């Protein structure tokens, strides 16, 4: 039986997989982070599911449409394919941040998108990893019981939204993937 059959690596998009652009709204703005495709290939070769989980409040704020977001993600998949890499799935929250009394259940650090992926792919969340550049990503990992990895690209944890520590801090996605594959 494969060692990582029910494990996943959940990636944030902006600042982790692609260069951070404030409210990225057009496919031509996409630029993969150095080593991103290689990192995904490494993780998939180690039999992890690799799943993108991203907050896209620009849709809820009216900065761009769901149709534009789908074009961006289609372009992202094309760019990864050119690097012989593939995501297993993309999950996104299109909602704008709400007050604490009206928060949606899918916006990170909430767990709904991770649970949806876990159900679809029979993933053991507690044996999985979340790689992100913000404290919301790290808090999301805590909320699902996964190992939290902060990368120093993008926000590099400087957003200060949550008082939470990562299990591991890495320079970028490529170094995070190397660490994950060697994780006991």
pLDDT in tens, 16-46: 999 999 999 999 999 999 999 999 999 999 9
Ramachandran bin of 157, using left for φ above 0, alpha for ψ from -120 to 50, beta for the remaining angles: left
Average pLDDT estimate for 94-122? 89
Top-ranked range on mean pLDDT: pick from 5-9, 21-25, 140-144:
140-144
Catalytic residue status for 88 = no
What distance in Å separates the CA atoms of residue 151 and residue 71, rounded to the nearest whole number?
26
Q: What is the dihedral sign for C-alpha 152, 24, 104, 127?
A: negative
User: Cβ–Cβ contacts within 10 Å for residue 108, how many?
Assistant: 25
Q: Per the structure block, which two tokens stand in for 13?
A: 């998009």
Token duo for residue 20: 């951070």
Q: Between 163 and 69, whose confidence is greater?
A: 69
pLDDT tens track for 42-66: 999 999 999 999 999 999 999 999 9
Give me 58's structure tokens.
Answer: 């620009």
What share of the chain in percent tops pLDDT 90? 85
d(CA 142, CA 117): 16
Query: Would you say residue 161 has pLDDT above 90?
Result: no
pLDDT, average across residues 151-164 = 88
Instruction: Go through the domains of the chain in sequence order and give each one's CATH number.
Output: 8-182 (3.40.50.1000)
pLDDT at 157: 81
- Catalytic hit among 14, 133, 137, 172: 14
For residues 97-110, give the mean pLDDT: 80
* Nearest to 114, CA basis, from 142, 149, 151: 142
State mean pLDDT over 137-149: 98
Give me the catalytic one of 12, 133, 137, 172: 12
The answer to whether 14 is a known catalytic residue is yes
Confidence of residue 101 (pLDDT cuts 50, 70, 90): low
């Amino acid at each position: 039986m494969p060692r990582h059959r029910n494990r996943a690596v959940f990636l944030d998009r902006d600042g982790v997989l692609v260069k951070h652009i404030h409210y990225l709204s057009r496919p031509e703005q996409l630029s993969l982070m150095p080593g991103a495709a290689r990192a995904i290939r490494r993780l998939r070769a180690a039999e992890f599911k690799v799943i993108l989980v991203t907050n896209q409040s620009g849709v809820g704020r009216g900065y761009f449409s769901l149709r534009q977001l789908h074009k961006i993600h289609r372009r992202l998949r094309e760019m990864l394919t050119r690097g012989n890499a593939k995501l297993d799935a993309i999950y996104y929250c299109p909602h704008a941040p709400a007050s604490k009394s009206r928060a949606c259940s899918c916006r990170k650090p909430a767990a709904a998108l991770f649970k949806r992926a876990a159900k679809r792919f029979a993933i053991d969340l507690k044996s999985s990893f979340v790689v992100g550049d913000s404290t919301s990503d790290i808090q999301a990992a805590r909320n699902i019981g996964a190992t939290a990895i902060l990368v120093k690209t993008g926000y590099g944890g400087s957003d200060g939204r949550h008082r939470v520590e990562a299990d591991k801090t890495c320079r970028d996605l490529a170094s995070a993937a190397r660490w994950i594959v060697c994780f006991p």
